[in-house]
Structure 1
Amino acid sequence: MIVPAFAQATRAFDVPSQPATNSIAALARQADAQILIEEGLARGIQTNAITGSYTIEGALIRLLRDTPLDWIRTGPTSFSIISRQEVDSGATPDILVQGRREWTLNTGIKRSENDSQPFIVIDGEQIRKSGAPDLESYLRNSLSVNSGASTAEQANISDSPNRSAINLRGLGERETLILIDGRRLAGTSNSNGNIGQPTIVGIPLAAIERIEVLASSASGIYGNGATGGVINIIMRREYRGAEASVTYSDTFAGGGRGIRADLTGGLSLEGGRTNVTFTASYNRTAPLLFRDRAGLIEDSRRQAFANNPAFFRFSPPLGATPNLSTGNDDPLQLDERFGGATLSSSRATIPVGFRGIAQDGIAGLLANVGNYNLDLSNNRGVNGGRRELLSPVEQFAGSVAARRDFNDWLKVYAELSYTRAGNQRRADPVAATIKLAADAPNNPFKQDVTVTVPFEGVDNRVLDRTLQTYRGVMGAIVKLPGNWQAVLDYSRSRNTTDSDDTPAKVSFAGLAAFQNGTQDILRDVRLAPGFSYTYLDIPYATSSSQTRNDIANLSVRLAGPLPVRLPGGKPTVTLSVERSTQRQAADSFIQNDEEQSTVRISQPGRQRIDAAYGEINLPILGDTHHLPLVRELMVTVSGRYEKYRETGAPYAACYQEAGLLPSLDLAKLCPVTPPFATTQRSRFDPTVSLRWRPIDGVTLRGSYATGYLTPQLSDLVKVAEARIYTTATDVQRGNERIGTEDADFAGSYYLPGSRGGNTDVKPETSTTLTAGIILEPAFIPGFRLSADWTHIRKRNNYANPDQLLSPSTIEQQAAFDAFLARYPDRVTRGQPSGGFSVGPITSIDASVANLVGSNTETIDFAGSYTRPLFGGGITLDARATYVNELSLQEVSGGPVADYAGVITGDFIFLRGGFGAMRWKGAGSLQWTGDKLSLMWQTRFFDSYFVSLDRQVSVGLGAAEVPSQMYHDISGSYAFASGFKLRATVNNVFNRRPPLDTTNASFLYSTFGDPRLANFQLTLSKSF
């Protein structure tokens, strides 16, 4: 359909927020257009205020945003207002829907919260109003089904800045599929031979139209990787004119200042036959340093130390002055020069102003035995006061998209986008912890002591790590007979990461000067911080080559109605065939160190998936039939067949020797190319869902779905090993020890076998059942409440049996026995002997295996209420998730670990592990008037255990980290000139995150934001 010139004309609108019947009539008068709406459809609905110059289509989009209403064009100057549920009831890809939107590039079927499956739909404007600094932070804070505990900017969580980690249902990062406009993205690479989850870092909030989330098995719709769920980010295309905005952000306590500029817009050419949209965004944020939150960090340290004086037993904390310890529980003992007394503690701290024992003796030092200096140091060492608590961020994103209607039956489209996310980290060329020798002249103790020194003047240079994502899309839409359409779509995406080399470290000779007392570290080093540092004469300490992943997707989709009519309406069908090819380039990591040098080369990997997919929407019965207890009955059936082929190599060190590298030529260091292996399998996944409305205002829904996940590329090659050590016993031979005793290590047993990957593993699978209810009672206009039960059962989880080979408890031995019972062909036995019916185990296959799996059971709640109030409209939204079960069982008969309500240290540091809190929720209360808008938001994180045994953590002083609740407030005012000012205060009560000792770097719960109370000011202008 060619949009008439009338639709492209810009008009001035001034429509206050009011009941839909009144606002639609006002907009129609101002546009000189005919807009029809049924009175019953408009009952209880409050629309948005709009002020400024827009096309009529742009005005309708803004007027009806965040309401259950949508629009369709019915003529050159006429429109009809319809229910979004009516729009979303078909099985037609969003990109093929006509008349409802200006245009979109979303190849997926548009989903709604009233779908037969429990989709969560997040409006882009709601994200922008939230005041979240980035998309990952918003999804951590406000998406109740996301268990992610940290974000990419939290510098000390892991060595993976710029890489987001979304973890639906707490099943792990790999179980969540990320899409943009329904298309797969190139995954990230971390020099480990595997393809990681695509990153969402750098996606500008201003460019997002909405996000669709399904926290359920979804491979029957989306394919591989959707075992735990899928997130589809749909980008904005509804622009007419342009909007520019500038956002300034800062914290009330200082640090973390930022500036962001966004430009979005679109134009229509050739009378509407050609449409172009563009976006550009620049974001720069200063670091938040440890010293900027000294109160939070130091109080957490003191609390942990008070709870457990042995908390820093093995490594003294970095303080404002040096701290020292024996490194164990042995008490300090003075040297004979100072009387040889055994002291009362294994630890001590250097007094402020202490110049060393040569000048000040030992009295001041003895007075500080048993204590640590827990004040932050004034250096840039790890956890030092001038170290980054939140990394500095510099991001740029831009895109341009176009669609041209050549005639009534052919449209073509294309898009190019680019994202660049820069992140910085510090080099650490000298370890803060030094072992001071017992015979050092400045050591007053009889034993070696471990000293943590706040070194200054070290080459802690800033190192850049830059992630870039390129994405291109092109395609054609063809109108076919019988109201069918086809779309031929090709997309390509590339993700690269470039990292600076780390500078050379201080040499062993240079460290020896500290260890033997030549340079005195047992003093207040701030008095004379000018140490002499002798660096190795090498070009770098570590070097990482560029990592690169590419993915190409080619698909053909057909969609349209079937030539039959059911009592509830015409069935609609989508069919597609696709090929997705993802390639991972070779990369390398080099560590050049006097103690041990290592070279790891990740070989090229490849994954190809051919797929055929179909979805049919069957409106069995509708409103017109007035049958008892059946106002609507809708069944949706989809199925996806995929055949995958993967080729990969093991990720292992090809060079690992003591001392510096003999050469920097990788071909000489690693002359042998590791073996490759290929696996291929096929898989069919169905999805069946039902939506039944027995009476007006009550909707019941349920679904059955499955999912699957392919193995990692590094888990395909099996590697033979001459010695695999084990402590296991053979239950079939009277629990005798397995293997041969090592002649050099009495009591150690080994046997030959294999480790590594395995091409014979089956795909990891999941099955999901959901059941839910939606209440929209007519006697409470504008009210909606839903509750959805979800049960995900995963089987054939990938696991490394290595961990079963060293049992130390009865339960662990039982797990090993269960593994052999399930996989008897994993061992080779000799001839029967010793009166047993089986021979001794002579070899074992400990390569990757399918072990049992996991179960999760959750209930998701969502509620909203909208009504007129004080000349405007008030909207209440809330969403919460309760996790009843999140259990993991590695082998049949083995122990079952329930992670519901458990967040361990591994979960936080690995950023994608297994775990979830019991309750998580968020809500908002918003009033929108003619020009003024006000909103209050609340985020709730339940208490959580820090260990699976749920026992008291001594350092924490409790078994659980307490629950957290944070509140935000925001408001905006629209000026008649097209300017809008928005102000947001996050964490308005300035609540600190609670203590969490699983994170030894800064000891606070990462669900909280160390910015504490912070604000944003946004000024925007529409053109």
Structure 2
Amino acid sequence: MIVVTGSRIRRDPLSQDSPVVVVDQSAIQQTGLSAIADVLQRLPSASGGLNTKVNNSGNIGNPPDGGGVGAGSAEIDLRYLGAKRTLVLVDGLRFVNGSSASGIPSTVDLNTIPVGSIERIEVLQSGQSPLYGSDALAGVVNIITKATQEGLQASAQFGTFRAGDGHTQDYNVSYGIKGPTTSVVFGASYVKQEAVRTADRDISQFPNPGQTSCSDAIGGCSSATLGGFISVLGLPTLTPKTVLGGRGRFDITNPTGPNSDFRALVTEDRFNFAPFNYFLTPSERYGAFISAKQELSSSTNFRVKAIYNRRESQNQAAFLPLFVGPDAGNGNLLDTISIDATNPFNPFGVTLSAGKPGEAPANYSTVRRRLVEAGQRTYSQAVDTMSVTAGFDGSFDVGDKKWYWDANAVFGWNDAKQLFTGNVNAQKLGQALGPLALCTGACVPFNIFGGAGSVTPAMLAFVTFDERARSTQRLQDYTANLSGDVFELPAGPVGFAIGYEHRFQLGSFTPDPIIAAGLGSDIPAQPARGSYNSDEVYAEVRIPLLKETPFFYSLEVDGAVRHANYSTSGSSTTYTGSALWKPFQDLLLRGSYAEGFRAPSIGELFGAASRADAPIDDPCTNVPGSPFQTSSTVRANCIANGVPANGSYQEPNGGQLPVITGGNRDLKPETSRTFLFGGVYSPRWARDSGFASSLSIEVNYYDIKVDGAIAPIDAAITLARCANAGDALSCASVQRTANGLISRISGQLQNIGEIRTRGYDLTLSYRSPTTGAGAFGLSLNGNYLQKYSETVPAAVGTTTTSYRGLTRGFPDQSYPKFKGTGVVDWSIGDVAASFTARYIHDVEEFDGKQLDSRIYSDIQLNYSPSFADRRLRFTVGVNNVFNIDPPACFSCTGPNYDPTTYDVPGQFGYLRISYKM
């Protein structure tokens, strides 16, 4: 009997009452991947999550989840319920949450756990809050690290894309010593992943798939142009022929005289920002671990484990789009800058007034240009993570029954720093654009009208600064557990477990002081800090009812209860119950019901307001084919919301709208209920007949409902409900300037309503006997999504949106009806080979555009020479061997595809050599 994920009672893992998928070292190595998150995100029950394909702390900003971006981090999300609803444990204990100096995430960064320290990963595909506490609504990922090892294990791998980029180096070494009473394992890991740039893939050359220039009718290029763009409200020195619809573009050719050479903005003038991003973000990870066990007596052990990881990563965006003026939509001082008539580069002879108190009424809307002179926006993270676990465990006898106990303490630290070079200080920019008489000392008048190349190093030196932010997470977790058999029934012993946990968590985010003061020109943010503690007790009982009787080879029931008291969210009690029935030895049927809860995280409770730039379109814009033109209802609702009735409003920002999100101290815990029914068929006849050395077929049905889900209302839904239905609650969340431009969409976190998902997991595993032709294996693993919907409140009633079979772009997530993975492997003598196929069913965007199905294929060959006692292994592999591109997506935040669901375009090949003493 051993402890398995899904129960606190020691039991036979073959009689598990919950569906558990085990990913061992051989399965990890079979993928050729260097990040555990990438391996786990391939599971059909997984639904993506943040990974190193996500490059979004630049112009996208902080996503509306209360946790910050976590750039360079990696997460696991089960059942499409969000990574924060999947609990990640290490050796059955909590692990400190990650951060990347851009917020206070509520999730473990899987990139902080060295791959070389991992023995296997157990994925419980069912909610189990009664056993494991908060966050386990969708399931539990338990990472089991190496506890014992004898001798040396080492591996070195190099991989690269066929295009010649994305080079990856992966080195792991560990050494184990095992004595009579003492065992020690220690090791180190190093991973270096180089970038894949959007400029080097066809799908990402322009903001939209298939686009060949900014003049294409589809649009998408930015109004923050290289030459500069000005939107005016009526300057006396401009004649009507120089503007179009109230907007004009200043041409850089002759910037000295008023009204020198203005012309109307045309689509060719817009800036193509697409080639300046990452498809795969670069990172380096240094890791080390040690695990030691000392037998203090025949029945008592002392264990200590430590994990350290250093991550240096980077993400990147195009040159800074500098927006100033009352319609700029920055939400800070940049929106109030007036460009004085005495500025030597102001060609109009009059002050461009932003209309702030004490000034003339606003006479211009915005001035925009790309600050190419400052270089690309680059965000560099340095993240240190340390976790130390110490504990005692042992056993004792009560009569003829053996009882097991353990007591553990976990201390975790995560410290992150982020550097962004080239941000603009709005206060200094205002001085450099203001009256010349006030531009004294180090101040250098700024040329915002001169276009690319006109900003001198002296101008940049005065207005730019290096933005530095940091975040921290702290964990203290104390647990004690006791389990054993209470008494015997005719069908077997009654098992019992009880335990206590006390946890303290603290998180903080400290943006650069200039950013906190509202003086930056990129994504604004405010500092945040919070903590909580919890006290929790649980109990579990397993009762065998029948054994080896007709139609009841075995029958047992299992139940658990947990009571938790949070300093921030009050008390909660959850229950679970399950039944296992074997009508005969080869067939296991199971069913369970579980209640769950998730306490609001530190970021969700205490996170300060921050902006995310959502890549969505405003339905109120007056352009050909827009709802404003085609629907009188939409037009009336938009005008009521603040859009000018004369039709002068056209959305200028290239499809990015500001969404303001933030924590909410009035949040209540989420609750859930989960039904699970399934069965496992492992026919003895297949083994007895020689057809298989092992064969099993497993099918599970799940139905999960989350009530009071913590999230903002989707900004696209808010806009649509305001424009289409005039919903008062939605319209109140959309704020516009006097000219109709959206200055903010409120997206504060709240208990929005309900999330509902249900579906089927299907698994087949077969391994042949060893024959003259070798041994063969086949595994099939699939997920059929029957339902996924979200229900949010409206002014009257609620609105339910079904996402099954769809994709949405903010945040990126696709919901295919079916995903499946199949692996065929073969081995004979010194040689082994495997072929893996991953299938993703087609999905649609909300406007009906289809993302066709994809099948990714991977191959791997291994050679373990017998002359080296098969201690050496040489591996060669190719992922995406048929060079399948991801389906093009118009609404996705990523570079025209969904990086949480599909692979980076291109074939990836790798070579690995490994040694085991």
What pairs up with 1:885-896 in 2 under 5 angstroms? 885-891=787-793, 893-896=797-800
State percent identity of aligned pairs: 21
The Cα shift of 1:787 comes to 1.3
SS at match of 2:412: strand
Aligned to 1:855: 756
Aligned to 1:637: 559
- 1:242 and 1:1022 in contact (8 A); partners too: yes
Aligned to 1:534: 459
Give the counterpart of 1:1005 among 895, 898, 904.
Answer: 898
d(CA) in 1 for partners of 2:148, 2:754 = 44
Aligned to 1:945: 844
1:611 equivalent to 2:536? Answer yes
Aligned to 2:412: 493
TM-score for the superposition, normalised by structure 1 = 0.67
Cα deviations by residue, 1:290-324 (Å, 9 ceiling, x for unpaired): 3332x232277461469994433572598xxx688
Aligned to 1:68: none
Cα deviations by residue, 1:963-1001 (Å, 9 ceiling, x for unpaired): 222111011111232221111111101111121122366
What pairs up with 1:257-272 in 2 under 5 angstroms? 257-269=167-179, 272=180
SS at match of 2:753: strand
Aligned to 2:635: none
Give the counterpart of 1:390 among 258, 275, 280.
Answer: 280
Aligned to 2:633: none
1:877 equivalent to 2:779? Answer yes
d(CA) in 1 for partners of 2:714, 2:875 = 55
Aligned to 1:931: 830
1:584 equivalent to 2:507? Answer yes
- 2:209 and 2:896 in contact (8 A); partners too: no
d(CA) in 2 for partners of 1:713, 1:453 = 38
d(CA) in 1 for partners of 2:682, 2:889 = 41
d(CA) in 2 for partners of 1:812, 1:805 = 10
1:867 equivalent to 2:768? Answer yes
d(CA) in 2 for partners of 1:194, 1:606 = 11
1:697 equivalent to 2:586? Answer yes
What pairs up with 1:550-561 in 2 under 5 angstroms? 550-561=474-485
Select the structure of larger CA radius of gyration. 1
- 2:432 and 2:446 in contact (8 A); partners too: no
TM-score for the superposition, normalised by structure 2 = 0.74
Residue 786 of structure 1 aligns to which amino acid in structure 2? E
Give the counterpart of 1:249 among 159, 162, 165.
Answer: 159
d(CA) in 1 for partners of 2:472, 2:811 = 26
Aligned to 1:776: 682
1:897 equivalent to 2:796? Answer no
d(CA) in 2 for partners of 1:603, 1:275 = 43
Give the counterpart of 2:546 among 606, 616, 621.
Answer: 621
The Cα shift of 1:885 comes to 1.1
Residue 551 of structure 2 aligns to which amino acid in structure 1? L
1:465 equivalent to 2:386? Answer no
Residue 83 of structure 2 aligns to which amino acid in structure 1? E
SS at match of 2:210: helix
The Cα shift of 1:465 comes to 0.8
The Cα shift of 1:713 comes to 3.8
SS at match of 1:890: strand
What pairs up with 1:280-291 in 2 under 5 angstroms? 280-291=188-199
> After alignment, is 597-606 or 866-875 more displaced?
597-606
- 2:207 and 2:221 in contact (8 A); partners too: no
What pairs up with 1:305-454 in 2 under 5 angstroms? 309-312=216-219, 315=222, 383-385=274-276, 387-426=277-316, 430-431=320-321
Cα deviations by residue, 1:622-658 (Å, 9 ceiling, x for unpaired): 3xx3x22112223222221211112xxxxxxxxxxxx
Residue 688 of structure 1 aligns to which amino acid in structure 2? G
Quick one: structure 1 residues 370 and 932, their matched pair in 2 at CA, closer, same or farther if it must change by over 3 Å? Answer: same
What pairs up with 1:671-690 in 2 under 5 angstroms? 679=569, 681-690=570-579
d(CA) in 1 for partners of 2:519, 2:369 = 23
Quick one: structure 1 residues 943 and 347, their matched pair in 2 at CA, closer, same or farther if it must change by over 3 Å? Answer: farther
Aligned to 2:181: 273
d(CA) in 1 for partners of 2:764, 2:184 = 37
1:907 equivalent to 2:811? Answer yes
- 1:314 and 1:327 in contact (8 A); partners too: no
> After alignment, is 508-517 or 455-464 more displaced?
508-517
Quick one: structure 1 residues 800 and 156, their matched pair in 2 at CA, closer, same or farther if it must change by over 3 Å? Answer: closer
Aligned to 1:1015: 909
- 2:860 and 2:878 in contact (8 A); partners too: yes
- 1:315 and 1:325 in contact (8 A); partners too: no
Aligned to 1:572: 495
Aligned to 2:656: none
The Cα shift of 1:396 comes to 0.8
Give the counterpart of 1:987 among 880, 884, 909.
Answer: 880
- 1:758 and 1:848 in contact (8 A); partners too: no
Q: How many residues align?
A: 774
Structure 1 residues without counterparts, runs of 5 or longer:
1-85, 94-107, 359-364, 377-381, 647-678, 720-740, 747-754, 818-845, 953-957
The Cα shift of 1:485 comes to 2.1
Quick one: structure 1 residues 479 and 1005, their matched pair in 2 at CA, closer, same or farther if it must change by over 3 Å? Answer: closer
The Cα shift of 1:423 comes to 0.5
- 2:808 and 2:892 in contact (8 A); partners too: no
Quick one: structure 1 residues 449 and 784, their matched pair in 2 at CA, closer, same or farther if it must change by over 3 Å? Answer: same
SS at match of 2:552: coil
- 1:246 and 1:1019 in contact (8 A); partners too: yes
Aligned to 1:122: 23
Quick one: structure 1 residues 187 and 342, their matched pair in 2 at CA, closer, same or farther if it must change by over 3 Å? Answer: closer
SS at match of 1:312: coil
SS at match of 2:374: coil
Cα deviations by residue, 1:108-139 (Å, 9 ceiling, x for unpaired): 96895762122222223201211123111112
d(CA) in 1 for partners of 2:537, 2:418 = 39
d(CA) in 1 for partners of 2:148, 2:502 = 30
The Cα shift of 1:603 comes to 4.7
SS at match of 1:167: coil
Quick one: structure 1 residues 939 and 299, their matched pair in 2 at CA, closer, same or farther if it must change by over 3 Å? Answer: farther
d(CA) in 2 for partners of 1:897, 1:397 = 43
Residue 549 of structure 1 aligns to which amino acid in structure 2? Q
Residue 788 of structure 2 aligns to which amino acid in structure 1? L
Quick one: structure 1 residues 718 and 876, their matched pair in 2 at CA, closer, same or farther if it must change by over 3 Å? Answer: closer
d(CA) in 2 for partners of 1:247, 1:389 = 22
Residue 833 of structure 2 aligns to which amino acid in structure 1? L
SS at match of 2:384: strand
d(CA) in 2 for partners of 1:606, 1:154 = 28
The Cα shift of 1:532 comes to 5.3
Aligned to 1:476: 392
d(CA) in 2 for partners of 1:610, 1:594 = 38
Residue 772 of structure 1 aligns to which amino acid in structure 2? G
- 1:641 and 1:685 in contact (8 A); partners too: yes
d(CA) in 1 for partners of 2:853, 2:227 = 33
- 2:374 and 2:422 in contact (8 A); partners too: no
Aligned to 2:205: 298
Residue 48 of structure 2 aligns to which amino acid in structure 1? G
d(CA) in 2 for partners of 1:406, 1:709 = 38
The Cα shift of 1:248 comes to 0.7
- 2:159 and 2:908 in contact (8 A); partners too: yes
- 1:305 and 1:312 in contact (8 A); partners too: no
- 1:315 and 1:327 in contact (8 A); partners too: no
- 2:76 and 2:86 in contact (8 A); partners too: yes
- 1:191 and 1:589 in contact (8 A); partners too: no
The Cα shift of 1:347 comes to 12
